[in-house]
Amino acid sequence: MRNPAIKKNPAAVVIFLIFAGVIILFPLVVTIAGSFMTEQAIYINYSSNVTTFDLIDGITERFKKIILIPNPVTFNQYRSVLIDQPAFLVLLFNSLKITFPVTIGALFFGIFTAYGFTIWRYKHKEKLFLVFIVVMLMPLQAVLVPNYIIASLFGIQKSYLAIILPGIFSPFGVFLARQSMKSMPEAYFESAKIDGANNFQALIYILIPQLKSIIAAICMLTFIEYWNVVEQAIIFIDNFTMEPLSVYLSRIADGRTALIFAASCVYMFVPIWLLLAGQSDLEKGIELSGVK
């Protein structure tokens, strides 16, 4: 049912959404524009005289100086990032070494565990599933210490496995997949059994083809979460050559703002492309899961 306030004031809602969109996208636009500017142009455009005693005037002056169209346009910083600094590509590969195993493992674990909850005839399975939800709602800071203790027991606290294994067994993918499976009619499973299919065949040939949007949503959300991993990498990785790019990005430019902008754009390209390419599947997957 539509909100009456929205129906009465559609123009106000549109204006508010445009204003909110501009605020949200403004840092991204500044980053992309700055990546094509020279260091001198960035210093002139983005420097300000903001002080504690004259905050409003300082901010006003700052926005007056911001120019979003590079003049002149230069690609030198992209060359510096991608060619002159091999460390950047190494660290980019480090991020991929974390995100790909976590994404594939979380998808595999999420689908099979959710399917187990769906076909498992146990009267207390909803209570057990509630444990998954509670773990999912716990903040990352609450589980970092237990994860470190367990990783120490297995001797993997200084390796990527200390980040990858908790990511693979994250309950988030289980929750999304199971919510979608619950909405499927029981007739699908009964028809598969009548035709002689076992549980594994029913999952592979009947269920998974109908879960393409959920699978895409789990992959995208998991990939982006671990592409931007920071806390776990800081705690578990003490060798800077093994750090993901998300941790090392603040140090790679050594104070050169244009280089920071260019490195940030390269770093953002993968998740932004992933979201744009799979936007419809992500929206449909979230809708099918019933997550509000």
Banded model confidence at residue 19, pLDDT cuts 50, 70, 90: confident
Average pLDDT over residues 258-264: 85
Fold classification of 84-289 is MetI-like fold (1.10.3720)
**Which amino acid would we find at residue 167?**
G
Better-scored residue on pLDDT, 45 or 247: 247
Query: Token pair 């492309």 is at which residue?
Result: 273
Q: How far apart are CA 98 and CA 153, in angstroms?
A: 21
Asked whether residue 52 carries a pLDDT value surpassing 50, the answer given is no
pLDDT digits (tens, 9 = 90+) for 195-238: 787 888 888 888 888 888 888 888 988 999 999 888 888 889 88
Q: Which of 65, 86, 78 is nearest to 36 (CA)?
A: 78
The model's pLDDT over 104-145, given as tens digits with 9 standing for 90+, comes to: 999 999 899 888 888 877 777 888 888 878 888 888 888 888
Predicted pLDDT at 77 = 85
- Name the H helices within the chain: 4-8, 10-34, 39-46, 55-65, 76-79, 86-119, 125-137, 140-154, 161-168, 171-182, 186-194, 199-202, 212-227, 231-236, 245-252, 257-277, 279-289
Instruction: Kindly report the number of other CB atoms within 10 A of residue 27's CB atom.
Output: 10
**Would the pLDDT of 168 be above 60?**
yes
Could you state, in order of their start, the residue ranges of all structural domains in the chain? 4-74, 84-289
